[in-house]
Amino acid sequence: MTEWSLPRLLAGLHDDIERGLQIVRDALGHPTVKGDGSAAVWLKLFDTYLPRRYCAQTAHVVDSNGAFSEQIDVAIYDRQYSPLIFHHEGQIVLPAESLYAAFEAKQAINAFNIDYAQKKVASVRRLHRTSLPIPFAAGTHPPKEPPHILGGILVFDSDWKPPLGDPLTAALAKNPDGRLDLSCAALHGTFACAAGTAVTIDASGKAATAFLLELIARLQEMATVPMMDTRAYARWLTP
C-alpha cells in the first residue's frame, strides 16, 4: 500500500498544470484559442486551490470615474466584501476596489508577450480606487490604503535560450507602471520583479506549485480589500 507523501502531492499539482498546458499547445490550433485554453488551465487551478474569499475570472475592471481596463485573462478579486460584480452576456466587469491581482496568460514568454502583459497590468493599476472609513463596534477605523495590485504573466514555456536569462530580465525592467511582480513559466520556473529592477528567478522545478504557494502567501499579506464607496458608482445613475 502506497504511503501518503506531501512531496508527491505537491509535485502532482504541478504535473497536472504542465499536462493541461501541453494539451492546449498540442491540440488547439488558432492562437486566440490557445490563449483562451491556457487561461482556462490557470483559472481552474485558482478556482480549485485559492480560499473561497477569492475568485478568479477573465474580466474587465472599471472604476468609479467610468474608466475601464483592458481585458484581464486572470483577474483575482474579492468576492466576500465586494458588492458590485457585473455580469452581462457572458462578460464580467469588476470594480477596481475588488482586485487583488491581474495576470496575462500566454503560451510562452518573449519580449512581445512581456510588454503586452505589462500594458495589461498597467491598465488596471491606473484606475481610481475609493476607500471609506471602516465602522466597528467601538468606533471607526480610518480608510485603508488600497494595496498594490499584483501583476504577472502565466505561460507554458519560454522562447528564449536560456529560458530565464538576461533577455527576460531586460524585458521586465522596461515598464515600471506594469511591473510583473510574480510570474510562472511552467516548464522552467518562477520569476518575481520587485520595485526598481530587482528580479528573482527560481528554476528549482515544479514551478506551478511554487507559484501557487507564493501567490497565496502574497494574498495573505494583502489582507482584505478596502471598503469601497458604492455611492461613487451610484452617481452614474443620474443623467
Give per-residue pLDDT as tens, 185-216. 999 999 999 876 678 999 888 999 999 999 99
Residue 31 has pLDDT above 80, yes or no: no
Asked if residue 229 belongs to a domain, the reply is yes
Asked if residue 137 belongs to a domain, the reply is no
Asked if residue 120 belongs to a domain, the reply is yes
pLDDT at 197: 66
Per-residue confidence band for 28, with pLDDT thresholds at 50, 70 and 90: low
- If you average pLDDT over residues 8-14, what whole number do you get? 91
CA distance 4 to 145: 43
Helix axes 31-49, 207-222, angle to 10 degrees: 60
Asked if residue 93 belongs to a domain, the reply is yes
Asked if residue 116 belongs to a domain, the reply is yes
Asked if residue 136 belongs to a domain, the reply is no
Give per-residue pLDDT as tens, 33-91. 677 788 999 999 999 999 999 999 999 999 999 999 999 999 999 988 887 788 888 88
Active site residues: 73, 104, 106
Q: What is the mean pLDDT of the chain?
A: 91
Asked if residue 239 belongs to a domain, the reply is no
Q: What pTM was estimated for this model as a whole? A: 0.92
User: How many domains is the chain built from?
Assistant: 1
Range of the domain at 184: 6-131+142-234
Asked if residue 36 belongs to a domain, the reply is yes
CB atoms within 10 A of CB 89: 4
CA distance 147 to 100: 8
To which residue does cell 501557487 refer?
A: 212
